[in-house]
């Protein structure tokens, strides 16, 4: 029988969690209730006590209560919950997880869910399932369900929503995913944006012909962070980082920044990677009226009703070139860098809205000047979406990967 972990504060929401537990059991699954409440005693006996969760975080419920610091208590219980769920899953005692609550309980439940591997069903019913939900989802596959009404008693609305949630997590936990026919193929992570789609699609198709399975990540901040996390955790065997646009948002202050560690994980681990400069001509904002006032005089382009693009300047491009060189110079694995001399996006081409040879020249010049001499730099007289450019990147990756794999196998044979 599959086990669904149910995590929440049983001191304040015991009635609601008892209802959720019973609905999961009705679907034929085994509920495992984890209490992360601090202020009071649970309304019913959980399977894992709040004392155990606090203990894993190196503290106690008594200490957390005496500190009278809600933030400290939530942080500690989140730490302990993450350790607990990882332990339960690794021991085969957790097949899925569900939590519910407001921002406080949701933050604890989210930390526990983010500690689980991708593919383990995770469902969070919360009042904060709208707006900026990055803190609750992280780089994992957490499913958010708006609770509509607060988790405060059982009523005609909450009963229906919690029943739906129980059915959803039970269905996810009970189903057996089909076995992937791609299981033995090397797994490659690639990055894509709307304005680099033709390039990434052609490169992906070529890699699939060569025997790879390709995961494509949308370079919207979350996508880049997810790709870096999967690389760090050993899920992929190489990276085709065609679209490094998130670096521009991180530098200038756009909405799609992926954090300061973008473009570093594969290099640190030593994975083979091919890197290009996709969509570094742009910084992303929301609708036109959300563009910061200091940028209103810049070259702006309405990509769609919800996204406004801003052209990067030569000065910003020079900084980006320097940043990319610095990050790639620290790479330990095989690496090649591709420069499309006729444009880095679909609108950075002659006649395009963001065509700016001076800005591109600043990017290319800074990169070439600072890149380690032993790193392979390939310049082509095409734009990034030219099929020949895409194919060259895929073929170069294949060459790097095969050499890397042969070297690794030889080293293992001599150990």
Helix (H) or strand (E) holding 214: strand 213-218
Are domains 3-174 and 187-414 of this chain identical in fold? yes
Low-confidence ranges of the chain (pLDDT < 50): none
pLDDT of residue 330: 97
For residue 112, give both structure tokens.
């526990």
Cα torsion 213, 217, 223, 228: sign:
positive
pLDDT of residue 395: 98
For residue 234, give both structure tokens.
């050993």
CATH code for the part of the protein at 3-174? 3.40.50.12020
| Distance separating alpha carbons of residues 50 and 53, to the nearest angstrom | 5
Return the HEC string of 283-342.
Answer: EEECCHHHCCHHHCCCCEEEEECCEEEEECCHHHHHHHHHHHHHHHHCCCCCEEEEEECC
Sequence spans of domains, the chain = 3-174, 187-414
C-alpha dist (Å) from residue 65 to 40, 44, 77, 104 = 9, 20, 12, 16
pLDDT of residue 415: 63
pLDDT of residue 284: 96
Length of the chain as a residue count: 415
pLDDT of residue 181: 55
CATH code for the part of the protein at 187-414? 3.40.50.12030
Helix, coil or strand: residue 153:
coil
pLDDT of residue 363: 98
Estimate the share of the chain in helix, then strand, then coil, as percent rounded to the nearest 5. 45, 15, 40
For residue 54, give both structure tokens.
């606090």
**89 HSE (CA, 13 A, CB side):** 22
């Amino acid at each position: 029988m599959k086990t669904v972990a149910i995590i929440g504060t049983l001191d304040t929401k015991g009635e609601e969690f008892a209802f959720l537990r019973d609905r999961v059991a009705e679907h034929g699954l085994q509920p495992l209730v984890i209490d992360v409440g601090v202020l009071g005693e649970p309304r019913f006996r959980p399977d894992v006590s709040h004392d155990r969760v606090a203990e894993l975080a190196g503290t106690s419920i008594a200490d957390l209560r005496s500190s009278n610091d809600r933030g400290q208590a939530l942080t500690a219980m989140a730490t302990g919950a993450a350790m607990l769920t990882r332990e339960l899953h690794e021991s085969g005692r957790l097949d899925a997880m569900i939590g519910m609550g407001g921002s406080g309980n949701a933050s604890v439940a989210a930390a526990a869910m983010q500690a689980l591997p991708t593919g383990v069903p995770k469902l969070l019913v919360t009042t904060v399932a709208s707006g900026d939900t990055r803190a609750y989802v992280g780089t994992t596959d957490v499913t958010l369900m708006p609770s509509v009404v607060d988790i405060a008693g059982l009523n005609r609305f909450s009963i229906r929503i919690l029943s739906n949630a129980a059915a959803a997590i039970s269905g996810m936990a009970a189903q057996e995913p089909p076995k992937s026919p791609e299981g033995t193929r090397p797994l490659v992570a690639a990055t894509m944006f709307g304005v680099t789609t033709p390039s990434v699609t052609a490169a992906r198709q070529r890699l699939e012909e060569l025997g790879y399975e390709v995961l494509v990540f949308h370079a919207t901040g979350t996508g880049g962070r997810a790709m870096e996390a999967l690389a760090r955790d050993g899920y992929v065997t190489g990276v085709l980082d065609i679209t490094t646009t998130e670096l521009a948002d991180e530098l200038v202050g756009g909405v799609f920044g992926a954090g300061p560690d973008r473009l570093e994980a594969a290099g640190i681990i030593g994975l083979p990677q091919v890197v290009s400069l996709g969509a570094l001509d742009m910084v992303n904002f929301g609708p036109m009226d959300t563009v910061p006032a200091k940028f209103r005089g810049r070259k702006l382009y309405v990509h769609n009703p919800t996204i406004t693009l801003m052209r990067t300047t030569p000065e910003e491009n020079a900084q980006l070139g320097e940043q990319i060189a610095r990050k790639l110079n620290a790479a330990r694995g095989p690496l090649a860098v591709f420069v499309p001399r006729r444009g880095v996006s679909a609108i950075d081409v002659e006649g395009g809205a963001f065509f700016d040879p001076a800005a591109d020249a600043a990017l290319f010049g800074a990169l070439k000047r600072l890149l380690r001499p032993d790193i392979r730099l390939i310049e082509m007289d095409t734009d990034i979406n030219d099929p020949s450019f895409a194919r060259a990147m895929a073929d170069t990756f294949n060459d790097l990967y095969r050499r890397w794999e042969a070297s690794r196998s030889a080293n293992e044979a001599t150990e």
